[in-house]
Structure 1
Amino acid sequence: MDNINLALINFQEEKKIDSSTLRAILEKAIRNILRQKSGSSKNFDIIVNPDKGDLEIWRNRTIVEDGSVEEENEQIELSEAKKIEPDFEIGEYVSEKVELKDLGRRAILSLKKNIFTQSKEYYNTVIYKKFHKKIGELIVGEIHYTCDNQNLIIRDDNKNEMILPKKEQMANDLSRKSGRIRALIKNVLLEGNRPIIILSRSDTAFLKKLFEQEIPEVFEGLISIKDIVRIPGEKAKVAVSSYDDRIDPVGACVGVRGMRIHSIVKELISEKIDIINYTDNSQLYIIRALSPAKISKIEIDEKNKIAKVSLHPDHVSKTVGRNGQNLRLVSKLTGYKIVIIRDFMSEEDVELTEFSDEIEPWIIDNFKSTGLSTARSILNSDLEDIIKKTKLEKQMILDVLRILREELKK
């Protein structure tokens, strides 16, 4: 019994199972053995104290006349009872301590197996429920080992093992043979009775959680992350906005000398991150998402969700990005298919702000808010389309067009 008691204490400490739960598991396992051995366990008292490793089993039997025993497990002859205590009488109860060794070697082995099986099942259920509640949260763990299928096994501080599948890793994660790593708890499954904790570092939710951890304004809700698109390990675009006009959402996310965004980029192993000021104005949103490209003209087909963007030829390569990465991310972020048009005439273009001596600043700001930020982008646009976008008076727009034409003719 001492071996079982010691094993129970060690198991309880290792798996962090509370005493009342372990007591219930142990009593249930013992009663199963007693039923198999004696046919019934209802006349047995089982005393368990997992904290001290104490385990006692007592069998209670009713004293009957000699020769009238019908159920040996529940009854005892008077003559046998008097051997235990001479003062016993018919109708009284006799309690006898049962040693585990009396149940037989096979029963003891079965008891051990039963106890540890049920304890593990309980522990697995606890772990499943614990981590299932944490889906969507970040966790820090140590890289334990790499599987043959290139899945990484991560251990937390409580030695719980989690899986970072190959498809949820970033490009350089596999090269990290050891060390601590942050990841998102993406899902928790049960395979049989075994909890499977799935982690991710490639999910957009992982990047969002990093922003919440590193940028107080995001955590506090002063800055809202409207959307995130990623090519994990390569590039990401994050659209942010603020309900407080006093807060510059882009500047707050970048931080002083880029310190805030740098800590996130470091965690993502140098994944490039573009932070964009979100707007409901589709045209302006596309322009911001394509920044710093100089756009001379943009035409939007709302019905087919297509945006034709005219660029200086020198800006096309950077705007498209390596293997088209940047353009794909812009399309995914804005919801528009981006068609790039090389504008060979844009070499003569002039920023609208250069006309501040002749055009009032509020008019310039009005044009810029619709994506018309250069002289040629305005001159190449349809008059009725400009009126509709800017909501300016026709004569005012005609005056602006005249000023721009005169400048470009010089």
Structure 2
Amino acid sequence: MEGKELLSVVELFANEKDINKEIVFEAMEQALASATKKRFEDEEPEIHVVIDRESGDYQTFRTWLVRADDEMAILGSELTTEEANEVDPSLEVGDTHKELVANAGFGRIEAQAAKQVIVQKIREAEREKVVVEYEDRVGTLINGTVKKTTRDNVIVDLGNNAEGLLPRENLVGREIFRINDRIRALLEEVRPEGRGPQLLLTRTAPKMIMELFKLEVPEVSEEVIEIRGAARDPGSRAKIAVKTNDGRIDPVGACVGMRGSRVQAVSNELNNERVDIVLWDDNPAQLVINALSPAEVASIVMDEEAHTMDVAVAEDNLAQAIGRGGQNVRLASELTGWNINIMTLEDADARREAEMGQYVEQFMEWLGIDDELAGVLVEEGFTTLEEVVYVPREEMLAIEGFEEDLVDALRERSRDALLNLELAREEKLEGREPAEDLLTMEGMDRATAFKLAEQDIRTMEDLAEQAVDDLLDIEGIDAERAAALIMKAREPWFAE
């Protein structure tokens, strides 16, 4: 192959595939080296070809690596020190000896081998180009044309030799696409490795509906309105929470559009998926109330520790609040991030009375007071002895009918009750008390040590072997404190 002819081949491939000429040159060099190797039947030579980028002329070199005497030299590509001295006395271990050899003839077989190498290199270059072009577009909408449909996937032509894979399970409802149909989907993942389509698409992700509203609502794309969250039951129903950064703009109205035009456009794109637009609120309870719309909430009780909310609604609102198959409450839970329990007002009242009755009985037993006084404490929000002891004295004096003597007596009895409960716990643990090293460990207090002992964590070594999740069920220990205690218990390990 003449130099000018080689340059024309490089030019052709580079322009046709829209890739860097250097990639084609490297592929040609590899192909020519492969053709040259075939001349050496009984050896595995190391061949390198260098093409002049200006003239197209090329030279072929054979190289040998000099090995130490105690290492086995590979025939054809490595030399022992003795062989190296015969070739060039200046060669040392680790040096490379290079010789110019005749260029390979470029017949039909060599041309075919070269073509395979070039095609493989071009494919690799095209895949790399796709990765570079799309890796920053993950989570955004992609437009394309249906190229092929199979039982499990839809192959989408995105142009410029890029293809997207849209699995059937990532379609909305019972969508059917045919070849050459225009399609819009969210780019979920870019796969740099592997064969076949590299771009994984979806139409079911919550982010898809957020991106569609960016297209339809200028205020969202301009960040005047924020979409703070989305939850979907693809093809059936979705909820999004919106917030305005400009008090003059109604975020819900802006997303709905004139006569519902904007939300309808999004719904049409998603196979008529119904979209509820709710107002975002930084108050979690109010956000849950908004998310359950159109159902009306009568009362709500939030348990921050369990991250749940008990929501009470009127009997005639119960079905609407739950939704068909639990859809409404499920989407509201996903949108807000809270576990929502829906119940009737009657059930909520019964549960509240049962809980209050339990707290009243506990105060009567712990403090030796009558049910009327215990009931007042519970109605004022007291549920534990610790609250009676540590709530500011002024707050208790503000309760109607609570004089100084009564408040001081209640606080003193609460302290005694706490001490008695702690002693009872220690007696129960007799024979399983926390070890001295755990009791005196930095950051440890006596109450926590005994709570750990109840879980058979009696020594620093026992504590060091725990994971953070193992301690979260223990009263008074959160993830941060659990991690700190475990790391302190493990300090002797690192010292050793």
Contact 1:127–1:195 (CA<8 Å) still a contact in 2? no
Change (3 A) 1:5 1:116: farther
Whole-Å separation in 1 of the counterparts to 2:221 and 2:31? 48
Residue correspondence of structure 1 range 57-68 to structure 2 within 5 A: 57=58
Q: What does residue range 334-349 of structure 1 map to in structure 2 within 5 Å?
A: 334-343=336-345
CA apart distance, 1:383: 8.1
Q: Judging changes above 3 Å, is the alpha-carbon distance between structure 1 residues 310 and 147 closer, same or farther for their aligned structure 2 residues?
A: same
**Matches for 1:338-377 after TM superposition, within 5 Å:** 338-343=340-345
Q: In structure 2, what is the equivalent of residue 18 of structure 1?
A: 20
Shift of 1:275: 1.0
Query: Is the 1:225–1:238 contact (alpha carbons within 8 Å) kept by the matching residues of 2?
Result: yes
Q: Give the Cα–Cα distance (whole angstroms) in 2 for the partners of residues 236 and 199 of structure 1.
A: 19
The match for 1:69 is none
CA distance in 1, matches of 2:144, 2:57: 42
CA deviations 1:321-347 (Å, max 9, x no partner) are 1111111111222233333333489xx
Partners of 1:193 and 1:295 in 2: how far apart? Answer: 53
1:133 is paired with a residue of what secondary structure?
Answer: helix
Query: CA 1:134–1:341 in 2, change beyond 3 Å: closer, same or farther?
Result: closer
Report the number of matched residues: 308
In 2: Cα distance, 1:250 partner to 1:28 partner:
61
Cα distance change of structure 1 residues 310 and 25 upon mapping to structure 2, 3 Å threshold: same
* Aligned residue identity for 2:255: C
- The Cα of 1:283 is off from its aligned counterpart by 2.4
Structure 2 unaligned residues grouped into runs of 5+: 62-101, 348-377, 382-397, 399-496
Query: Is this contact kept in 1: 2:24–2:121, CA < 8 A?
Result: no
> How many Å apart are 1:113 and its aligned residue?
1.9
Q: Gaps spanning 5+ residues in structure 1: where?
A: 61-96, 346-381, 386-393, 395-410
1:319 CA displacement: 2.1
Contact 2:126–2:161 under 8 Å retained in 1? no
Deviations 1:82-101 (A, max 9, x none): xxxxxxxxxxxxxxx97x8x
Q: Describe the shift of the 1:104–1:223 C-alpha distance in structure 2 as closer, same or farther (beyond 3 A).
A: same
- Distance (whole Å) between structure 2 residues aligned to residue 40 and residue 313 of structure 1: 84
Amino acid at match of 1:198: L
User: Which amino acid in structure 1 is aligned with residue 234 of structure 2?
Assistant: P
Q: Deviations over 1:330-375 (max 9, x none)?
A: 1222233333333489xxxxxxxxxxxxxxxxxxxxxxxxxxxxxx
Counterpart Cα distance in 1 of 2:237 and 2:184: 19
Distance 1:33 1:20 in 2: 20
* SS state at 2:220 partner: helix
Instruction: Report whether the alignment pairs 1:250 with 2:252.
Output: yes
Q: Which of the residues 133, 139, 142 maps onto 2:145?
A: 142
Label 1:125 to 1:335 Cα distance change in 2 as closer, same or farther (>3 A): closer
> Does structure 2 retain, via aligned residues, the 8 Å contact 1:242–1:249?
yes
Task: Give matches, 1:213-232, under 5 Å.
Answer: 213-232=215-234
Letter in 1 for 2:150: C
User: % of aligned pairs identical?
Assistant: 32
| Conserved? CA contact 1:240–1:278, under 8 Å | yes
1:344 and 1:35, CA in 2 relative to 1: closer, same or farther beyond 3 A? Answer: closer
Alpha-carbon distance between aligned partners in 1 of 2:160 and 2:60, rounded to the nearest angstrom: 41
Q: Which TM-score applies when normalising by structure 2? A: 0.54
CA contact (8 A) 1:255 1:261 kept: yes
**1:108 maps to what in 2?**
111
User: In structure 2, what is the equivalent of residue 176 of structure 1?
Assistant: 177
What is the aligned partner in structure 2 of residue 366 from structure 1?
none
1:319 is matched with 321
Give the direction of change, closer, same or farther, for the CA distance of 1:29–1:236 in structure 2 (3 Å limit): same
Deviation at 1:272, TM superposition (A): 1.0
The correspondence of residues 177-196 of structure 1 with structure 2, limited to 5 A, is 177-178=178-179, 179-192=181-194, 196=198
**2:31 — aligned with what?**
29
The Cα of 1:145 is off from its aligned counterpart by 2.0
Residue range with higher mean Cα deviation, 192-201 or 137-146? 192-201
Which structure's residues are more often strand, by fraction?
1
- Give the aligned residue type for 2:148: Y
Q: TM-score, normalised by structure 1?
A: 0.65
CA separation of 1:240 and 1:15: change in aligned 2, threshold 3 A: same
Change (3 A) 1:6 1:321: farther
Alpha-carbon contact 1:125-1:193 (below 8 Å) kept: no
| 1:201 equivalent in structure 2 | 203
CA shift in 2, pair 1:384/1:268, >3 Å = farther
Deviation of 1:22 after TM superposition, in Å, equals 2.3
Cα 1:217–1:383 change in 2 (3 A) is farther
Query: Taking structure 1 as reference, are residues 126 and 59 closer, same or farther at Cα in structure 2, changes over 3 Å only?
Result: closer
Deviations 1:170-194 (A, max 9, x none): 2123x22241111111111144465
For residues 45 and 151 of structure 1, what CA distance do their matches in structure 2 show? 44
1:286 aligned residue (247, 268, 288): 288
CA distance in 1, matches of 2:136, 2:338: 36
For 1:252 and 1:18, how far apart are their aligned partners in 2? 47
Q: Distance in 1 between matches of 2:168 and 2:60?
A: 57
Equivalent residue, structure 2, for 1:276: 278
Provide closer, same or farther for how the CA distance between residues 10 and 316 of structure 1 changes in structure 2, counting only shifts above 3 A: farther
| Equivalent residue, structure 2, for 1:363 | none
Say which is worse superposed, 272-281 or 288-297, in terms of deviation. 288-297
* C-alpha distance in structure 2 between counterparts of 1:197 and 1:131, whole Å: 8
Q: Is the partner of 2:137 in helix, strand or coil?
A: coil
Return closer, same or farther for 1:56/1:302 CA change in 2, 3 Å cut-off: closer
Mapped partners of 1:165, 1:212: distance in 2 = 24
* Structure 2 Cα separation of the partners of residues 45 and 153 of structure 1: 40
- Measured at CA, do residues 171 and 40 of structure 1 come closer, stay the same or move farther in structure 2, by a change above 3 Å? closer
Question: Deviation digits for residues 75-119 of structure 1, max 9, x if unmatched?
Answer: xxxxxxxxxxxxxxxxxxxxxx97x8x444432322222222222
Alpha-carbon shift at residue 34 of structure 1 (Å)? 4.1
Q: Secondary structure at 2:191's aligned position in 1? A: strand
Amino acid in structure 1 at the alignment position of 2:140: E
| SS at 2:282 equivalent | coil
The answer as to 2:126 corresponding to 1:123 is: yes
Match of 1:133 in 2: 136
Cα distance between partner residues in 1 of 2:316 and 2:285 = 22
Q: Distance in 2 between matches of 1:11 and 1:113?
A: 13
Give the conservation status (yes or no) of the 8 Å contact 1:4–1:112. Answer: no
Q: Is the CA contact 1:135–1:185 (under 8 Å) kept in the aligned structure 2? A: yes
Q: Which amino acid aligns with 2:131?
A: Y
Take 1:59 and 1:320, find their aligned partners in 2: how far apart are those partners? 77
- 2: CA distance, partners of 1:177 / 1:119: 30
Q: Note closer, same or farther for the CA distance 1:107–1:159 as it changes in structure 2 (3 Å cut).
A: closer
Change beyond 3 A, Cα 1:340–1:40: closer
The verdict on how the C-alpha distance between 1:7 and 1:319 changes in structure 2, with shifts beyond 3 A counting, is farther
- In structure 2, relative to structure 1, the CA distance for the partners of 1:29 and 1:195 (3 Å cut) is farther
Q: Any idea what SS the aligned residue of 1:210 has?
A: helix
